[in-house]
Amino acid sequence: MGENQFRIIRNDADIQIGLGELLLLDPRLIPIAEIAGPLPLRLATPGFAGLASIIVSQMVSRASADAIWRRIEAAGPVTAQTYAAFQPDIIATFGLSRAKASTLKSLSSAVLSGAIDLDGICTIEGEEALRQLIALPGIGPWTAEVYLMFCAGHADIFPSGDVALQASVGRAFAMETRPVAKALTETARSWSPYRSIAARLFWAYYAATMRREALPIV
């Protein structure tokens, strides 16, 4: 895994190397990895479209999110410039909630004004990158963490607020109740600096044991 200011996941080889290191850090994860199978890379291009797709993915169902995303793509190139120019009647045809429509509109404005550099943010340390993203209207910790994982390739991010991850860790460790985000954050500290690998592992374990896809990006 590349060494720079921080670790970056760029390809499947980085996933394999990181997983090997993770299993050395915590051997309890070895049987979980055997059940989970190959871990997905699923990297997306950084920028407005990458973050917008994550925002849209937070729908009630994957089918609904996919349908909305297809409508946005059909309306023109998914860029900050294009989205900022959409009139309200066009945005209304996408099927977004009022909150998500507002978030995407604010995001397009922030990108165009230079208030946020969605490419440059991928090259800075995780805590500062998270701080800048969460400062944007409508962008919460989960959205910011998933963007840094799957668009920036950060190797040491664990979205503890993700319900599927909570359920997966609880199931894997035979916990009586699903761990809450705060407790899961503490548990995940022992998997640093490979927490993004651990998250991928538990999403894959969830999919293998529940027969249901849980990865937050396609």
Per-residue confidence (pLDDT) for residue 179, from 0 to 100: 96
Per-residue pLDDT tens over the stretch 10-30:
999 999 999 999 999 999 999
Mean per-residue pLDDT over the chain, rounded: 93
pTM of the model: 0.92
pLDDT (tens digit per residue) in 151-161: 999 999 999 99
d(CA 11, CA 3): 14
- Range name among 38-42, 59-63, 71-75, 105-109 with the lowest pLDDT average: 59-63
